[in-house]
Structure 1
């Protein structure tokens, strides 16, 4: 049986054991969120060979440095593991804003101790103590002097529970910055651009929208935000303000009760349309199916899903 080594500890595990489970069951606290290789919260550094089910989930440089996603690895031989330490490997950031956009969405603004190069729509892993969770950036690097995140705190959870207690002046640690599927391409300048979001999926699209407007996008821009009810449209006012300033921007606010009828009436004006989708997997799937039925080519749809905690 292969042995795992963590610091001075070592123990035997069954061949083929999931690395994340083997570590957590032995009391080595490795955080995780999706268990699908998407969130990157379970980063560990490995010395030895493991069977990696998603070798392309990390960059070649990260893999060369020994980093792996524990949830995607099976133990096949003796392995030395070093857990990601946010106090050592993360970047410190100060809370400069923590306010509620409605009863469940917390707008968190952070000032990192040094500049962070990012694009609108990317993801960043946030650490509160030893609790980690990936969130999409809602800020725009060219305009905002802070990093902004829109946190859905409707349901209890280790990170959302901690986030509710955050106050200006508190400090968090920033983990890995990830690519994300959603970003604005200047080559899209003249094409119709649709941004469809559910819940806090509006966060990264808020950044992408402002980037498109900053680059003077010439095509029509259509924003659709789906929420459980009217109170869930937490960016209704700033979206309306942008629409009043830009003649090519239209905003539609849908509720769950209106979703089926609104989707059925969705029509493409041009087959050159580009669609960016973000939110809960079920809503992203519903948007996608309708757009494909309406004739949108698959290579003109980019989607990012917010996976529920696994």
Structure 2
């Protein structure tokens, strides 16, 4: 086996040569800038093999867990198969197993496919046609569920919403690609306070992260904040209340705007004194995530300790 493989193409690399230099010499159009490991422009991902520790300097624990590294400072001593950071691989066929309502405008979609490896809290691309593709976060757990679960908001004029409502049913075929994202539990200290904040279907990845934390016996306090515009916008309420009652270190805090509860303000006020020592997960609309990331950073949280999944509307 070649010491370096780019996707499925062997690349010659000389002893002491960096991965970036080998890629450029082989004609690969790899991006780069500083060539010293500071700007992270050249970042790639190891899909097989482990990059040298030095080549992951400055990356978050979540990025390291996914195999990201900096080719400009990577001199491999063991075989590596690498790919661009956004290369999700080929699409895989999946079968619809369940579509059920969770609230007045959110449905649970469960699909089955073979050998789709992911971490709870990551997201995938759901492909219903050549021109109908959307990203959805995963609420399922690969060690507990034989399916992939997504929570899909039904937008009145949304093409995927209409497709899910009007066309998809049990047994229908779709395709998925991925996974992507670094919003997962791996790399969190088991004794850290764990703060999970989401709005709307931002609950989906947080539900996956929460389940993973409990499966890995997280010992620190876990507080899950879920926000919605109206009471009817909350979902999985009974399951989360029951979970909080059964686990001494779990607290579930719902908040709705119609009852005067701004989930961002509520969570920040309650958690800012603990921000510097906590692992923080933020999921939902882009404005909410940016606001909370900024405010928690100003309250002393390390950016490395903040993981997020910002939802952006389809173009």
TM-score clears 0.5: yes
Q: Which residue of 1 aligns with 2:175?
A: 173
Matches of 2:117 and 2:251, distance apart in 1: 30
Matches of 2:144 and 2:83, distance apart in 1: 36
After superposition, the C-alpha distances for 1:92-142 in whole angstroms (9 at most, x for unaligned) are 111111011011111000011x22211111121111122111211110011
Alpha carbons of 1:198 and 1:65: their partners in 2 closer, same or farther (altered >3 Å)? Answer: same
Matches of 2:44 and 2:284, distance apart in 1: 23
Given that residues 222 and 250 in structure 1 are in contact (C-alpha distance below 8 angstroms), is that contact kept between their aligned partners in structure 2? yes
Give the drift of 1:52.
7.3
Q: Which residue of 2 aligns with 1:135?
A: 136
Q: Which residue of 1 aligns with 2:155?
A: 154
Q: Which residue of 2 aligns with 1:14?
A: none
Alpha carbons of 1:115 and 1:293: their partners in 2 closer, same or farther (altered >3 Å)? Answer: same
1:12-31, aligned counterparts within 5 Å?
none
DSSP-derived class of the 2:225 partner = strand
| 4+ runs deviating over 4 angstroms | 48-61, 64-69
RMSD between superposed Cα atoms in Å = 3.1
Q: Which residue of 2 aligns with 1:197?
A: 198
Q: Which residue of 1 aligns with 2:266?
A: 262
Q: Please point out which of 296, 299, 302 is paired with 2:304.
A: 299
Give the drift of 1:187.
4.7
DSSP-derived class of the 2:201 partner = helix
After superposition, the C-alpha distances for 1:215-252 in whole angstroms (9 at most, x for unaligned) are 11100001001111111111211111110110100011
Matches of 2:124 and 2:303, distance apart in 1: 27
Alpha carbons of 1:56 and 1:240: their partners in 2 closer, same or farther (altered >3 Å)? Answer: farther
Q: Please point out which of 276, 279, 282 is paired with 1:277.
A: 282
1:1-310, aligned counterparts within 5 Å?
59=45, 89-112=90-113, 114-130=114-130, 131-165=132-166, 166-178=168-180, 180-185=181-186, 187-256=188-257, 257-259=260-262, 262=266, 265-270=269-274, 271-310=276-315
Give the drift of 1:296.
2.1
DSSP-derived class of the 2:183 partner = coil
Alpha carbons of 1:190 and 1:92: their partners in 2 closer, same or farther (altered >3 Å)? Answer: same
Matches of 1:186 and 1:60, distance apart in 2: 18
Scaled by the length of structure 1, the TM-score of the pair is: 0.70
Matches of 2:291 and 2:203, distance apart in 1: 16
- After TM superposition, the structure 1 stretch with the greater mean CA deviation from structure 2, 119-128 or 282-291, is 282-291
Alpha carbons of 1:182 and 1:65: their partners in 2 closer, same or farther (altered >3 Å)? Answer: closer
Give the drift of 1:158.
2.1
Matches of 1:147 and 1:225, distance apart in 2: 22
Given that residues 104 and 153 in structure 1 are in contact (C-alpha distance below 8 angstroms), is that contact kept between their aligned partners in structure 2? yes
Alpha carbons of 1:55 and 1:254: their partners in 2 closer, same or farther (altered >3 Å)? Answer: same
Matches of 1:192 and 1:226, distance apart in 2: 20
DSSP-derived class of the 1:258 partner = coil
Matches of 2:206 and 2:267, distance apart in 1: 19
Q: Which residue of 2 aligns with 1:26?
A: none
